[in-house]
Structures are given as structure tokens and as C-alpha cells.
Amino acid sequence: RDRNLTGGKFAGNGHRATLNALIATHSTVMDLTDGIFWAASPPHQLGKFVAFDVNDFDRELPTLTVTDDAMLASGEFEKAKQAHKALTEGNRALKNNDAQTALTNAEKVEAANPGFYQNATLRGRALLMLGRGTEAATAFETALARQPAFLSEKQELESLLKQARGEK
């Protein structure tokens, strides 16, 4: 359930370069040496991991069950869901050429899930569409510093950064 990047840096919930409990819907862990099987409970991998005997799956091992992720009790999971919704709405607004709505959603996303690179990417795209190149460049620099998960995203951000700076 570690949601940090290599080196221990938290990158916001949902970053695909981490062990991301918000992606998978099911998870199991097995220790065949000791004969224990753990199955995650919903939502995603955040619920408790219920332990069972590998040789008898009807035999639950309650003393070995791993508790719910603290993200559930803290409200962080609900905030992550709100952030995902706002990010989706912001990207939809960009596709509809509504940069101001996209910018408003970028602010909501950052408040609900701080540090996630896609928040800064959305902000930068909205600012670029609004003709605010200097601010857009800063947002794209922030997104790059937050370590995009995929090379294609990094390359796209580098291209957008050049565009925001007026470079060719």
C-alpha cells in the first residue's frame, strides 16, 4: 500500500509509477512457506486483507488479517475520488475549449490531491489556452518536477513547456 515514488517521495494519489492501490480492484498475497493466503477487501486494495489457510480456504485466520488502509478512515480516499472527478471534468472542459472551467477544476484537484503531476498539467494546459504563457510554463515545470509516470507524458510536457515559453 506504499504510495510513494522511488526514494520515498509522495506523488499524490493515483500516480501510476507507484504501488497504486487505487488502480487494481483485487489483490492477493500468498506465503506458501507458512501456508497463508490474504485476499483484499473492497474498495480496491484499501480494505482489510483477510487471511486464510492455503490448504483450506474455508478456514479464515483472523489473527493474521491486515487492517484497512488508514486512507479509508482519514477521508483521503473520498478526497482522491473527488480529485479524480474534478480532473476528468477539467480535461473535458479543455476538450470543449472552456479553459476557465478547466482552470477552476485544476485548483479543486490540487486542493483534494496535492502533489499529483496531472493537476499541474491540467493547470498548465488551461493557462496556455487562456494565453497566460508564463504561468503555463511554471505549471508545466511543476508537472515535470512531480515525475510524470510515462515517458510519453514527460515528452508531451516538455513540448508544452517550449510552446508556453514561445520556443520552437
Which grid coordinates belong to 60? 479464515
Segment 89-115, tens digit of pLDDT: 999 999 999 999 999 999 999 999 999
* pLDDT confidence bin for 13, thresholds 50/70/90: confident
Integer Cα distance of 45 and 1 in angstroms = 8
pTM: 0.81
**Pairing mode, strands 56-60 and 49-53:** antiparallel
Domains and CATH numbers, the chain: 28-68 (no CATH), 74-165 (1.25.40.10)
Segment 54-94, tens digit of pLDDT: 999 899 999 999 999 888 889 999 999 999 999 999 999 99
Report, as an integer, the average pLDDT of 134-162.
97
Residues in CB range of 146: below 8 A, 6 or more apart: 11, 12, 115, 116, 117, 120
